[in-house]
Chains A and B, each alone.
Chain A
């Protein structure tokens, strides 16, 4: 067989601008490039000279899909620098806000961006013509996620209420109560959602040793990770957020405006690793709520998921978990006396890693004695997954190259969407080209 190419000039149903180029022949894949042509955006540079209190508002603008994640990593890193800790109800409210974003972002991806791949539609709107009740359910679940973010944050996108030390204003118990009914309704729909997603036809795909994934996620002793924890991996890593840069490094490759992040000192797979829902699930299964574990069992879902095409199921389980957790928080909420904890700026360095919907989000700031930012470093989940996304295509293609070319191209696109790549995030960070060697 001659060399062939698969090309997608502008990937649809992902956040941001990317393309794919693959060149292959019967002996295997010659070249895979996930090209990120989304223009570079210089957030780390913009942050220099800004006040530490401004970081959550500025970094939110990195991503309109997961602004809460940026705000969370930013405020935790600043608090780390100022030496303050956030506990009690303020900590719980942040977790509630994160639940809202996980729901809104995951459901957007499950129903509007990814499910059309599994069922052969161009879009959710197209899918709605034959399955109106399913798309309607997705929209309604998403709406409740957005309602959480709006209530706590002021609006769904780029919320305004997150402050270093806590919030600008903590809601009253009465203000939070109306959420309860919506969350109960949402949790029921999330259960139906898990059952529906589990019924979707999933392509077979596994990567065995020595090409198995190294999953990396936060891990916390007694909760499913969101705002806090140690960075652990299926390869035995167990470090604090402060140690992140000792173990991970970013490489700049020519075909991408996004930096590729790799694990240092890993010969196999050249340091590629996987962050996001699958990593969180595989490393923290026993800290999911009993209801979520029950549903996983009901659909016969493995305790350890190795097929990225099943990430859509993991996402739906995390949505269910987020509803369960949000309900728990709303039910036990008491308004804190102070909406935020004050800190005194000093020349210091702060680090934080939180779990954005798409995975680990690392922020590192250096402050001067007035609390002005003198240096900032941000590593987005998609830059961490980019190498793994390319490697998946390398392993996927030999297995499916007998397929008609059009179907093969669609399968490659679906494979990329397994990671819900957020390209806007990664250009601080995709086009699809498949080329066969003729």
Chain B
């Protein structure tokens, strides 16, 4: 009886095809998908567990969808991309985004606060050849996203954890606390309190391992806002204790996650102040 049961359980497993993985690129620097190729010790093991069905940067092989898991890098900056992400969603059972571009619009979202036509004329001699949207938007503005992995770039260990969780159908263990907690865990001296160095750590999502403070500099927020960040308290502290001016605050909130709602809102407070002057 028990033998029979075991056979029943393992039999379908033996014939079960490997889950199909697709990696998609939108507007980005390719760094986050490179993180997957940077998993030098795990890449070939992973390739035994999943069918890498679509990954243009790494393979000429293109297997048609549907896909069990789609990993999406990059933000939406053209009308064509806005259409393509809809097709990707339709073909994907689970869709996760990787990186600041896909999760908040990325550094390209600096255009959201500026005049794009002027930008085009600055960079390109023949503006009429260029076709682009006025905004850079995250994937979640366009389709339902099942998980967002933040970071510019993402942490490859967290990517592996996410893939592992997906393969084993469990919840991924991605801590949602701030960079400050990572600093404490590492035993770093606080660069802001001890050295008066402006640091975004208190409002920034963990994941990098607090590398900037570990290298004697302030965090510049590349992992984007943590959940419910107290941005106004941080700004106030920078102003009163560090003598930061409005322009500096605007620049600090407008980096790789400029359009993430919490950072965008905070930066706007100081833009108005700069304008009033």
| Residue among B31, B38, B114, B153 making CB contact with A45, cutoff 8 Å | B114
- B167 on the interface (CB 8 Å rule)? no
| Residue among A40, A124, A154 making CB contact with B120, cutoff 8 Å | A40
Chain B residues in 8 Å Cβ range of A160: 211-212, 215, 217, 220
- A393 on the interface (CB 8 Å rule)? no
A54, A64, A125, A252: which has the most chain B beta carbons within 10 Å?
A64
- The answer on a CB contact under 8 Å between B215 and A123 is no
Chain B residues in 8 Å Cβ range of A112: 37, 58
CA distance A58 to B258 in the complex (A): 12
| Residue among B62, B107, B119 making CB contact with A61, cutoff 8 Å | B107
- Interface bits B102-119 vs A (CB < 8 Å: 1, else 0): 000011101100101011
With A13-B57, A161-B215 in contact, do A64 and B44 touch (Cβ < 8 Å)?
no
- A28 on the interface (CB 8 Å rule)? no
- B173 on the interface (CB 8 Å rule)? no
A45, A169, A257: which has the most chain B beta carbons within 10 Å?
A45
Chain B residues in 8 Å Cβ range of A64: 28-34, 153
Chain B residues in 8 Å Cβ range of A424: 28-30
- The answer on a CB contact under 8 Å between A108 and B37 is yes
A14, A112, A128, A252: which has the most chain B beta carbons within 10 Å?
A252
CA distance A254 to B255 in the complex (A): 31
Interface window among B7-15, B85-93, B125-133, B228-236: B125-133
Chain B residues in 8 Å Cβ range of A363: none
A161 → chain B, closest Cβ, in Å? Answer: 5
- B193 on the interface (CB 8 Å rule)? no
- Interface bits B198-230 vs A (CB < 8 Å: 1, else 0): 000000000010011011110010100000000
CA distance A79 to B213 in the complex (A): 24
A33 → chain B, closest Cβ, in Å? Answer: 13
Residue pairs across A and B with CB atoms within 8 Å: the count is 176
B38, B119, B255: which has the most chain A beta carbons within 10 Å?
B38
- The answer on a CB contact under 8 Å between A41 and B27 is yes
Chain B residues in 8 Å Cβ range of A44: 122-123
- A274 on the interface (CB 8 Å rule)? no
Interface window among A138-146, A176-184, A194-202, A300-308: A138-146
- The answer on a CB contact under 8 Å between A139 and B60 is no
- The answer on a CB contact under 8 Å between A146 and B29 is no
Chain B residues in 8 Å Cβ range of A128: 44, 47
- A39 on the interface (CB 8 Å rule)? yes
Chain A residues in 8 Å Cβ range of B214: 154
Chain B residues in 8 Å Cβ range of A43: 123
- Interface bits A34-51 vs B (CB < 8 Å: 1, else 0): 000011111111100011
- A420 on the interface (CB 8 Å rule)? no
- The answer on a CB contact under 8 Å between A13 and B43 is no
- The answer on a CB contact under 8 Å between A125 and B215 is no
- A156 on the interface (CB 8 Å rule)? yes
With A13-B58, A40-B124 in contact, do A142 and B40 touch (Cβ < 8 Å)?
yes
- A12 on the interface (CB 8 Å rule)? yes
| Residue among B31, B60, B116 making CB contact with A158, cutoff 8 Å | B31
Residue of B nearest to A122 (CB): B61
- B52 on the interface (CB 8 Å rule)? yes
Chain A residues in 8 Å Cβ range of B124: 40, 252, 259
- B35 on the interface (CB 8 Å rule)? yes
- The answer on a CB contact under 8 Å between B43 and A139 is yes
Chain B residues in 8 Å Cβ range of A161: 215, 217
Total chain A interface residues with beta-carbon distance under 8 A: 68
A105 → chain B, closest Cβ, in Å? Answer: 10
- A192 on the interface (CB 8 Å rule)? no
Residues in A234-270 with C-beta less than 8 Å from chain B: 250-254, 257, 259
- B142 on the interface (CB 8 Å rule)? no
CA distance A86 to B83 in the complex (A): 49
With A15-B57, A168-B217, A259-B125 in contact, do A42 and B31 touch (Cβ < 8 Å)?
no
- The answer on a CB contact under 8 Å between A42 and B123 is yes
B60, B132, B152: which has the most chain A beta carbons within 10 Å?
B60
- The answer on a CB contact under 8 Å between B60 and A123 is yes
A90 → chain B, closest Cβ, in Å? Answer: 15
CA distance A332 to B220 in the complex (A): 33
CA distance A40 to B255 in the complex (A): 18
- Interface bits A43-72 vs B (CB < 8 Å: 1, else 0): 111100011001001100111110100000
- Interface bits B52-85 vs A (CB < 8 Å: 1, else 0): 1001111111100000000000000110010000
- The answer on a CB contact under 8 Å between B122 and A251 is no
With A40-B123, A40-B132 in contact, do A132 and B110 touch (Cβ < 8 Å)?
no
B108 → chain A, closest Cβ, in Å? Answer: 6
- A205 on the interface (CB 8 Å rule)? no
- The answer on a CB contact under 8 Å between B43 and A46 is no
| Residue among A17, A45, A339 making CB contact with B216, cutoff 8 Å | A339
- Interface bits A411-428 vs B (CB < 8 Å: 1, else 0): 001000000000010001
Residue of B nearest to A62 (CB): B29
15 contacts between A and B (CB under 8 A): A13-B56, A13-B60, A39-B81, A40-B132, A41-B27, A45-B122, A46-B110, A51-B251, A64-B34, A135-B44, A142-B38, A157-B153, A158-B222, A252-B125, A257-B129
A contacts, CB < 8 Å to B:
10-17, 38-46, 50-51, 54, 57-58, 61-65, 67, 108, 112-113, 116, 122-126, 128, 132, 135-136, 139-140, 142-143, 146, 154-158, 160-161, 163, 167-169, 250-254, 257, 259, 339, 413, 424, 428
B contacts, CB < 8 Å to A:
25, 27-35, 37-38, 40-41, 43-44, 47, 52, 55-62, 77-78, 81, 106-108, 110-111, 114, 116, 118-120, 122-126, 129-130, 132, 152-153, 208, 211-212, 214-217, 220, 222, 251, 255-256
